[in-house]
Amino acid sequence: MFSMPRTETAIATQPRNHRAGLRVIAIYEVVKTLCLVLVAIAAFHLEHEQAFRQLVHWLEHLPLTGSNALRWRLVGALQDFGPSRFVAVGMVALGYALLFGIEGVGLLMGKYWAEWFTVVATGSLIPVELYEVLRHFGWLQFAALVGNVAIVVYLVRVALQTRAERLAAADRLR
């Protein structure tokens, strides 16, 4: 198996226009990481019976006139869910935060493996997102699906192109 030497020339062969695109994707991944960490913190907090009951009480007494039915569906769903399941929600959120954090940091550091890691991780979720969009259409879900497909297509093109360029640069160094 061919192992490319770690030289500044080989690392710098990535085109500048792709660096900006990779940074945008990396920042997006880091933002998702931070949001999921906040979800995990909230979920672990809601695992406690008292905090859970406070949230339900707050939702029950929230003065919303236009979205009253939505509020009561949310209250019912929370009560059916129960506080004990929030530990699982927190663990899943932390797992995804770790995954997205690895992607984001790897892309920010300009690591080649991070491009493919993001392709595989993001691409593996596309069938689930597509199923959810087809089952219960929502504009936010649709936008996430389109965004993730665009990220996968972009990263595959960048990874294939930069791999060829990196190999050519390594050959020139010999």
Q: What is the pLDDT of residues 76-123, one digit of tens each?
A: 777 777 677 778 888 999 999 999 999 999 999 988 899 999 999 989
Mean pLDDT score of the chain, rounded to an integer? 79
H-type helices in 109-138, by residue range? 112-135
Global confidence as pTM: 0.67
pLDDT (0 to 100) of residue 67:
61
The tokens describing 159, both together, are: 């990874």
Name the packing angle between helices 139-173 and 16-46 (round to 10°): 130
Question: CA-CA distance, 79 to 56, in Å (whole number)?
Answer: 8
44 — pLDDT class (breaks 50, 70, 90): confident
What is the spatial distance between Cα 64 and Cα 71, in angstroms, rounded to a whole number? Answer: 8
Measured distance CA(91)–CA(169) in Å, rounded: 43
What is the phi/psi pair of residue 81, to 5°?
-70, -45
Q: What angle do CA 143, 129, 154 make, to 5 degrees?
A: 60
How many CB atoms within 10 Å of residue 110?
16
| pLDDT bracket for residue 19 (50, 70, 90) | confident
What is the C-alpha to C-alpha distance for residues 20 and 17, in angstroms, rounded to an integer? 6
Give, rounded to a whole angstrom, the gap between the first and last alpha carbons of the chain.
Answer: 17
Give the pLDDT band of residue 2 (cuts 50, 70, 90).
very low
pLDDT(158) > 90: no
Rg, Å, the chain Cα set: 22
Please report the pLDDT score of residue 68 as a whole number: 65
